[in-house]
Amino acid sequence: MEAAELAAAAFGVAYILLAIRARRACWVAGGISAAIYIAVLRDAGLPLQAALQALYVALSVYGWFAWRREQADVSAPRSWPLPRHLLALLGVGIATALSAPLAARHGLAAAPVADSLGTWASVFATWLLARRVIESWIWWIAIDVGLAGLFALQGLWVTAALYGAYAVLAVAGLRSWRRRLVPA
Work out the pLDDT band at 179, boundaries 50, 70, 90. confident
Nearest to 144 by CA among 132, 152, 155: 152
Instruction: Check pLDDT > 70 for residue 183.
Output: no
Give residue 158's pLDDT.
86
User: Helix 47-69 vs helix 26-43: angle between axes, to the nearest 10 degrees?
Assistant: 170
Predicted structure pTM score? 0.78
Give residue 161's pLDDT.
92
Express as a percent the part of the chain with pLDDT over 90: 50
Instruction: Check pLDDT > 80 for residue 31.
Output: yes
In the three-class reduction of DSSP (H, G, I as helix; E, B as strand; rest coil), residue 133 is classed as strand
Q: How distant, in Å, are the alpha carbons of 106, 143, 169, 170 from that of 164?
A: 30, 10, 9, 10
CA distance 125 to 90: 14
pLDDT, mean over the chain? 88
Higher pLDDT, 105 or 182: 105
CA distance 102 to 70: 39
Residue-wise pLDDT for 111-131, tens only, equals 889 989 998 999 999 889 888
Higher pLDDT, 103 or 23: 23
Give residue 105's pLDDT.
84
Give residue 22's pLDDT.
83
Work out the pLDDT band at 75, boundaries 50, 70, 90. low
Higher pLDDT, 74 or 97: 97
User: 3 near 47, Cβ under 8 Å?
Assistant: no
Give residue 53's pLDDT.
93
Question: What single-letter amino acid sits at 153?
Answer: L
Give residue 14's pLDDT.
94
Instruction: Check pLDDT > 70 for residue 72.
Output: no
CA distance 12 to 159: 10
User: 156 near 137, Cβ under 8 Å?
Assistant: no
